Structure 1
């Protein structure tokens, strides 16, 4: 029997849009997708920040959040993530509080150092500065959100008696998270300030969580694994063959993008997967297949890393829009109910009726015969 779980479902959208598409239409499709995710019952969607490369088109996830929130009523929408070194921390904190009020607490905010070196280069930021600035910037943002008056003199920003004029709508803070990657810096930030974690399911999730718990203990915080968000690459269809075929729509452009961003990761993916997109996805810790296979994948993930609060499907646009929506529908309709065991009471009710079907049927027939024998009189 499946243990009782309450894992939420979301989507992590970088997003990827190929360079042969109209950007305005891509944006409208992303807004439509968030509305569709709300209809399916997904609890959240995260939007990335990028400034170069051409495929990931949002330089300001907070602007996306503001529009998407007006088109929805329940789903939570997050900045996944704000590249803190690229912004004045005071302005980040100010926008966070404004969006927290505008969305009545539905906006979420992730922090990171910035994924693309090309972004940092355009802004004159050296790669070795990014994580240092992330730590420095997040510290100031948190102090401002907590109502402190901040004086800070840095080589990239200055504050004199700075305070926010608005307190957050959410108490004590909006939902905040840190993206973790190859270094423990993000995890330690999460622990230091009691924030959630965004991490890849194919990576060292337990290692990231251990670093976060260590930092939390040092700073007197307690972390909850309900705030652990695990990103997985799922592309689902009714049959494995259909799922694999659907990948031919957009996998090659994504692979070319990977080669531009990270030639080493591209070479490793090619080496493990050859020319088969489904094998390449599997080599990177993802799944191309059926709802049954997705349930099995999540069960193994749970066994390997332990409890987590939210599973986020990575939105890579490897499939066309209709196939992508169908994949999300299959996840909501067939995968998560089984993984969370939400239909156990229904199953028990059916089993009880089925096991007693002859008794119930006989009692019903006897009651009908009795009425007929009395001539229909009560």
Structure 2
């Protein structure tokens, strides 16, 4: 099995964006040494708790400090941007770091209305344009826009012998179908919507159509994981993620609280229900437990790659979680 990383550059309370971004780089360098396959950074806006607002810049920084791990976006909010500009950004990254760049595309509108309009300089864009944008992006990447297309004579530079690997991110069977029909790799967000995963995987694998981007279907699954030497320690570490997710859902402070701070947070019965439900999005436990549950999910999804996201307060414990996973799956002993 392959393991990869999604990092949102979370900011712990009492810390700042500089520290969070430095930790993202440290995590990338560490997981490369541990044998993880790819390292993706997110795109989030108008938040005080996530420092990952510009994945293209972070990708360049991380790729320049690593040698082998694939680096990419998880993902660029295509509905808010020009497919041409996205193509040129990632073709430039691919020219700088050949064979190492992943272009993960999200179809999220990017947040509240004011945030979306700020991203587009007040130009209102329709989500109905996403399928067209996706086809245009593929056309620009591969210089394959059809005859009669208004931009058929426009070349996306720089030209290169290799192209970034394109992934579509989704949390439903509808997103899976879009990826399948357009012949892109597909990332399913179990860490957001675990309930529809099996149906999404079936939709993707059965409806897949080969393309210039991809000849055979390729899928990975992103999931929250907190791993520690004992179940008790993993549970305690995960409390900061529990309260963080609760606050995110309520539109509150999105910085990650410390474990000691979480113990002072009053929880209603509804809060406790939400936390229990959110735990369905995560695996929390010892290396043996995490490995067992990931192997079970491998059968559910029909994939052998999982992308791990760990948003806890203690960065050293976060690093340790990835070390334990690498040891459990013998990542750095393969080949």
Q: TM-score range by the shorter chain?
A: 0.7 to 0.9
CA change 1:327–1:220 in 2 (3 A) is: closer
Aligned-pair distance for 1:287? 1.7
1:298-357 deviation digits (Å, cap 9, x = unpaired): 232123233x131111132x24101101111110002x24xx9x89xxxxxxxxxxxxxx
The answer (yes or no) to whether the contact 2:41–2:55 under 8 Å persists in 1 is yes
Distance 2:198 2:243 in 1: 32
Aligned-pair distance for 1:243? 0.9
Structure 1: gaps (5+ residues): 1-6, 154-158, 262-268, 344-378
Q: Where does 1:227-306 land on structure 2 (aligned, <5 Å)?
A: 227-260=218-251, 274=272, 279=276, 281-282=278-279, 284-306=280-302
Number of positions where the alignment pairs a residue of Structure 1 with one of Structure 2: 311
The structure 1 residue matched to 2:107, chosen from 105, 113, 118, is 113
Aligned-pair distance for 1:89? 1.1
> What's the TM-score once normalised by structure 2's chain length?
0.82
The structure 1 residue matched to 2:189, chosen from 200, 213, 217, is 200
Q: Which runs of 4+ in 1 moved over 6 A?
A: 218-223, 269-273
- What root-mean-square deviation, in Å, do the aligned CA atoms of Structure 1 and Structure 2 show? 3.0
Q: Which has the higher helix share?
A: 1
The answer (yes or no) to whether the contact 2:171–2:197 under 8 Å persists in 1 is no
The answer (yes or no) to whether the contact 1:188–1:214 under 8 Å persists in 2 is no
Distance 1:237 1:101 in 2: 39
The answer (yes or no) to whether the contact 1:49–1:59 under 8 Å persists in 2 is yes
CA change 1:162–1:270 in 2 (3 A) is: farther
Distance 2:149 2:12 in 1: 42
CA change 1:87–1:217 in 2 (3 A) is: closer
The structure 1 residue matched to 2:159, chosen from 164, 167, 173, is 167
Distance 1:237 1:72 in 2: 26
The structure 2 residue matched to 1:11, chosen from 2, 5, 9, is 5
Aligned-pair distance for 1:133? 2.7
CA change 1:55–1:10 in 2 (3 A) is: same
Distance 2:88 2:212 in 1: 27
Larger Rg: 1
Distance 1:126 1:271 in 2: 40
Aligned-pair distance for 1:213? 4.0
Aligned-pair distance for 1:115? 5.6
Partner of 1:371: none
Partner of 2:49: 55
The answer (yes or no) to whether the contact 2:183–2:209 under 8 Å persists in 1 is no
Deviates more, 1:142-151 or 1:100-109: 142-151
Distance 1:126 1:241 in 2: 49
